[in-house]
Amino acid sequence: MALAIAGLAATLCAILITVLASRDESSVGAADGPGVLEPDRGARHVGAGPQTPASPPDRPPTSGPHRPEPVERDQTGLSDDQLLEALHLGNVVIAYEGEAPVAVQEDVSGPFDPALAAAGQAVILARRPGVGGVVALAWRRRLEASGPQDPRLREFAEAYLAQGPG
């Protein structure tokens, strides 16, 4: 008798779990928004010492341990430490080779301002020979754009501006 009751209870629990799980529409952990969600390589600040090793030109990092080096100007090359600190603060970095996507920057955050970048509110343009076009970066996010006029750049910048590692 006890075995039959235990079996019935287990069956009812399984049915209840199935019903409740099928009604769950949550998106916890979902990768909403434009671009690709990248692996989490950490957000730790490292102290004095050598610079973060340089990433391949065509694959700028979107997270990882780094020295907190501020970005003082844009439309120039950034070290991986500067790039990661900018993303860590909540900025969006658009790496480009060729024509800079200035219109996106001006439309979303205005011309580069170091104080705005320090507050994590800037779209930063980073010249990066070898990137192979235009790549938008945010903390753990990447978007390969078709060029500086790609409308997805603005959508990406608006979606992730001011969103660091949380």
Tens of pLDDT, residues 88-99: 999 999 999 999
Look up residue 130 and give its amino acid. Answer: G
Residue closest to 152 by CA, chosen among 100, 88, 94, 97: 94
Mean pLDDT taken over the chain: 86
User: Is 13 contained in some domain?
Assistant: no
Q: What distance in Å separates the CA atoms of residue 150 and residue 148, rounded to the nearest whole number?
A: 6
Q: Could you say which DSSP state residue 130 is in?
A: T
Return the pLDDT at 29: 39
Return the pLDDT at 54: 83
Return the pLDDT at 47: 83
- Tokens 């970095």 sit at which residue? 93
Distance of CA 54 to the CA centre of its chain: 18
In angstroms, the Cα distances linking 2 to 8, 12, 51 are 10, 15, 67
Q: What distance in Å separates the CA atoms of residue 58 and residue 67, rounded to the nearest whole number?
A: 21
Residue closest to 159 by CA, chosen among 104, 84, 118: 104
Q: 3-state class of 59 per DSSP?
A: coil
User: Is 68 contained in some domain?
Assistant: yes
Give tens-digit pLDDT for 3-59. 556 555 555 444 534 444 444 343 333 457 899 999 999 999 998 777 777 899 999
User: Is 130 contained in some domain?
Assistant: yes
Return the pLDDT at 5: 66
User: Is 26 contained in some domain?
Assistant: no
**Total structural domains in the chain?**
1
pLDDT at 140 over 90: yes
Average confidence (pLDDT) over 70-87:
97
User: Is 21 contained in some domain?
Assistant: no
Q: What's the whole-model pTM score?
A: 0.80
User: Is 1 contained in some domain?
Assistant: no
User: Is 54 contained in some domain?
Assistant: yes
User: Is 151 contained in some domain?
Assistant: yes
Range of the domain at 141: 37-160
Q: What distance in Å separates the CA atoms of residue 85 and residue 81, rounded to the nearest whole number?
A: 6
